[in-house]
Amino acid sequence: MPLSCFTLPCEGKSTLACTLGRELHTRGKLAYVLDGDNLRHGLNKDLGFAAEDRAENIRRVGEVAKLFADAGLLCIASFISPYRRDRESCRALLSDGSFIEVFLNMSLELCEARDPKGLYKLARAGKIKGFTGIDDPYEAPLNCEIEIKELDGVCPSPSDMTKQVVAYLEDKGFLHE
Ligand SMILES: Nc1ncnc2c1ncn2[C@@H]1O[C@H](COP(=O)(O)OS(=O)(=O)O)[C@@H](OP(=O)(O)O)[C@H]1O
Ligand SMILES: Nc1ncnc2c1ncn2[C@@H]1O[C@H](COP(=O)(O)OP(=O)(O)O)[C@@H](O)[C@H]1O
């Protein structure tokens, strides 16, 4: 089961992927996290952020996730993947129902206020071009399986985000023996 979180930078993808991975491990499930930041240091270090590079990034991630799924692992993929067509290509690679798209739907203001790596600041200053959410697009999904959003302007905690995803997985029978 490849489970993929797609959103703007700083929306909490890596945090959710990590918390969820730990929760699945405590339930005796073998899970592996693929994260954009990490893969771009190795497997995908030849790629930049032009639309065709982002497409190739996500194509490779989909192929790797498929290998994990074949081996019986739960794969949690945490990438921006801003274009719908690239996400749909990943979905098409995998068997029906096994691709679960998680959309973290937080405001740009919240992401920008976090900015632990200072990239939004650089993008606003024009020092990074083509930064998602600032001068590059993000196409929100039309039919994701799980949407996590702010409640009354407050972002759910990592633990609450994880609970929402786990509830979905339990409901769909992914966590049964
Ligand atoms: N131009 C531009 N646009 C967006 N993001 C940028 C850019 N340059 C560098 N970064 C950093 O790269 C991280 C996103 O990598 P991804 O592989 O997930 O991107 S993508 O799926 O190919 O769009 C992303 O990390 P996260 O903050 O974890 O999302 C950024 O830190
Ligand atoms: N649910 C949350 N509540 C509060 N802070 C969060 C939450 N999720 C992530 N953060 C914080 O926001 C920043 C960006 O999170 P990160 O998971 O790296 O986002 P992304 O992978 O989408 O770029 C980090 O400093 C992280 O600690």
Protein residue whose Cα sits closest to atom 14 of ligand 1: 36
Does residue 155's CB lie within 6 angstroms of at least one atom of ligand 2? Answer: yes
Q: Compute the chain's Rg from CA coordinates.
A: 16
Nearest ligand, CA 120: 1
What's the pLDDT tens digit per position in 128-144?
999 999 999 999 999 99
ipTM of the complex: 0.97
User: Could you tell me the CATH number of the domain that includes residue 38?
Assistant: 3.40.50.300
Q: Which residues pair with 34 in a beta bridge?
A: 77
Known catalytic residue: 95? no
User: Tell me, what's the pLDDT at 84?
Assistant: 96
User: Tell me, what's the pLDDT at 118?
Assistant: 98
Residue 172 within a domain? no
Residue 78 within a domain? yes
| Paired tokens of 73 | 């692992």
What's the pLDDT tens digit per position in 98-119?
899 999 999 999 999 999 999 9
Please give the average per-residue pLDDT across 67-77, as a whole number: 93
Residue 44 within a domain? yes
Residue 21 within a domain? yes
Q: 30: pLDDT confidence band, cut at 50, 70 and 90?
A: very high
User: Tell me, what's the pLDDT at 28?
Assistant: 93
DSSP secondary structure string for all residues of 29-43: --EEEEEHHHHTTTT
Structural domain of residue 158, as residue ranges?
A: 2-165
| Annotated active-site residue in 81, 98, 107, 159 | 81
Residue 177 within a domain? no
Q: Compute the distance from residue 110 Cα to the ligand 1 centre, in Å.
A: 17
> How many domains does the chain contain in total?
1
Residue 173 within a domain? no
CB 4 within 8 A of CB 32: no
Residue 19 within a domain? yes
Residue 171 within a domain? no
Protein residue whose Cα sits closest to atom 20 of ligand 2: 10
Please give the average per-residue pLDDT across 148-174, as a whole number: 95
